[in-house]
Amino acid sequence: MEGSASTEPRDRPLQLLATIALAGICLWVIRTEFPRVVSDHGLWDFGAFLASGRAAAAGLDPYGIYPPLTPHVIFPGFEAWNPNLNPPISALLFQAFDIVEPGWSLRIWWVISIASYVAAVALLLRRYSYGLHHGLIAIWAFALAGFWDTLYLGQIYMPLVLIAVIAWLRLERGDDVFAGIMIGLLISMKPNFAVWPVLLFLAGHRRPSLISFATAAVIAAMPLAIFGPGIYLDWLRLVATDGERAVFLTNASFAGLAARAGFPSVGTVLAVLLLLALAAWAFRRRPPVISVSGLALIASLLASPLGWIHYTLFLLPVLLHHWQRPWAWLAGTALIIPVPIILGYFGAPRLIQLTAGSVYAWALVLVLAGLVISERGRQSAPAQEGFLR
């Protein structure tokens, strides 16, 4: 049963050793990452959000490049500006970042982000209790590369992770209305997660799906009414021309893997095939809501043009739901490798970038494979029980 501990006595010493080893690695990561994050390293992505909010307030293009606030990223063989890529509602929300001095605003946002993440982890720990692993899960969650790099960049993911966790838990309890509202809030800021309500709809879970799209539509109408349709044209134009960043090593999607392999179009093909396969599976099999949600979340990352390491935080409920499975442990371990280590592979030969430099992407592929195998096992269980009877 998912969410409960059932370990054979002979396996416990090995499990204890694995737990101690993983906990030690996690503590080392935390000790390494903390000084990097709290150092005076500039505003990074938070600066882009601040610039976007200021531009919108002044009647300028919130998707423009405004040095020095808009970060300029340079690595061996890679150079790009990082403007705000979030949907137009962000142009309204980011104006709040300019209420106080930027340095203080970033620190306030850190507090909000950490509080949101603590709440998300606490909710999941209350739902998934694994005895000996309970403390390990807490340590592991705060060692994830996505957690530390989100803070380093001043990104906005952690409140959205809390929203996704609440949606997952409410779906599990059958609270379709509240879950749908939460999913709607999520996709209004991160449209790649629209895969989630689409698959829910195809699988027959219509109410949370429709409510989520209605919620997102209401939110999308706000900037349309304030700024006019031009802001959506500016946003879509920027998104359509941002393919150069797919090759960046912290992009864990199929697009990132394919770009680093030198065949960028293959990423699009793989993404389309994955989405079509999941759509057919959901429509034909009508799987339970949690099965749909797990595969929808991993597909939202792999099929996205930009599936940054920070997006892996949205897999917390997926990994904890399957925590007893070896693939969840292996993928979870890969996802705590600090970002600076991965970025060190910039300038390395293509094969190195595609293997060691793409470890985050391969971890997501492993999660996808694990979920598919688990789902096939779930579907075959009733047939096996019927045969035994």
Task: Give domain limits for the chain.
Answer: 15-388
What is the spatial distance between Cα 338 and Cα 347, in angstroms, rounded to a whole number? Answer: 18
pLDDT tens digits along 100-128: 999 999 999 999 999 999 999 999 999 99
Residue whose structure tokens are 């040095």: 67
The SS3 of residue 231 is helix
Write down the pLDDT at residue 366.
98
Among 53, 82, 86, smallest CA distance to 70 is for 82
* Integer angstrom CA distances of residue 93 from 89, 319, 325: 7, 31, 40
**Contact present, 308 and 252 (Cβ < 8 Å):** yes
Please state the pTM of the whole predicted model.
0.94
* pLDDT 10s digits, 166-214: 999 999 999 999 999 999 999 999 999 999 999 999 999 999 999 999 9
SS3 74: strand
Dihedral sign (CA 289, 327, 363, 375): negative
- Are 234 and 63 spatial neighbours (Cβ–Cβ below 8 Å)? yes
What pLDDT score does 7 carry?
Answer: 47
Provide mean pLDDT across the span 244-252: 93
